Amino acid sequence: MMTQYSSRSQLIIILLVLTLVLTSCYFPPDLPTPIPVRPEPAPATGWLEIYFTNPAATHAADYEGGPDEILAAAIDQARLSVDVAAYSLTLWNIRDALIHAHQRGVVVRMVMESDNMDIQEVQQILVAGVPVLGDQREGLMHNKFVVIDRAEVWTGSMNYTSNGAYKDNNNLVRLRSTQVAENYTAEFNEMFEDNLFGPDKLTETHNLSLTTSSPRSTRRVKGIDGTLVEIAFSPEDGVAPLILALLQNAQESIYFLAYSFTANDLGDAIRQRAADGLTVAGVMDESQINSNQGTEYDPFQQAGLDVRRDGNAGLMHHKVIIIDRSIVITGSYNFSASAEDYNEENVVILYSADVASQYLAEFNRVYDQAQP
């Protein structure tokens, strides 16, 4: 009996040892990459929201809740589609939001400036299966806009890069409007589906018919609160004449923040309105003043206008004009011949004193840091 009991004990011990060995060799199946928890988008304050970067921040906590985080959170909430037109993209949170949207079945599409497609973050988006089309043109695909669920549009001057979000002066506008989204979707489809960029859109064939692009609604849209929004795309819409008419009709004041300003006709109009007695003040990016041929900074100075060099170690990257404290022009469009004739650009004109007051506050912050 003693021998039989010992044999059974040995057998049990052997089975326990085998179980432990097999358990230690078990490899669980691959799990999907967890989606990082991001803050919910800021509570909606209406159909229109405006955000500014904070390059003067001195602590990492000061960047929390910045424009890039709010945009990434909005992409995380997308249910149907995300269309992105990006000059450049290096922000990890935007990269991750686009990849995760694609992984959960949202239709994600991108068009980009071809020269920036070899960036690591863009290649990771491509590897994840998101289609990205480069413009392959001499002019720049200079847009920076996102259309989410064909119901809201994010646009402005901010490139989706770490410098754009953290070091440069930029603005980002969120427009919850299916009409605005319809316009931007049509513009996106001309690029992504029809492979038409820049001057291509001015060809006779394009003007006669387009079979794949969405029809474009009126470019003048009334917001929920009655705010008038005007949308224009370059080069097909003639943005410069539109801005010129607004400048010439200014009655009280013109304030501007300009990364690049080489457009003589717009400069002439501003100088003329200053000579007519209007209040005029501006801030221009110092690096562009020093490098641009034909910069308007020198003529502004010679005319005695209060136009300053920016004081930001990064870029003063705004492309903003505020007219009569009631009209704001913003977007990707620099005030230059390249933006007017060759690049892919977009402009939003907001007719609202409330909106203008927000941009005037940003103007004052940038102006106070600038140097004559």
Catalytic residues: 317, 319, 324
CA torsion angle for 332, 339, 169, 274 (degrees, to 10)? -110
Q: Are 174 and 149 in contact (CB under 8 A)?
A: no
Strand partners, 52: 171
Measured CA angle at 252 (ends 304, 52), to 5 deg: 85
Q: How far apart are CA 1 and CA 15, in angstroms?
A: 21
Strand partners, 134: 112
Alpha-carbon torsion (248, 249, 250, 255), positive or negative:
negative
Residue 262 neighbours by CB distance under 10 Å: 20
- Report the amino acid identity of residue 325: R
Peptide bond into 299 cis (omega under 30): no
Q: How far apart are CA 2 and CA 157, in angstroms?
A: 87
Burial 343-368 (b: 16+ CB within 10 A, else e): bbbbbbbbbbeebbebbbebbeebbe
For the chain, how many residues are written? 372
Residue indicated by tokens 């809201």: 152
Query: Who's near 154: CB < 8 A, 6+ residues apart?
Result: 71, 74, 145, 146, 148, 172, 173, 174, 175
Exposure on the CB side of residue 168, measured as CA atoms within 13 A: 25
The candidate with the shortest Cα–Cα distance to 172, out of 68, 260, 96, 242, is 68
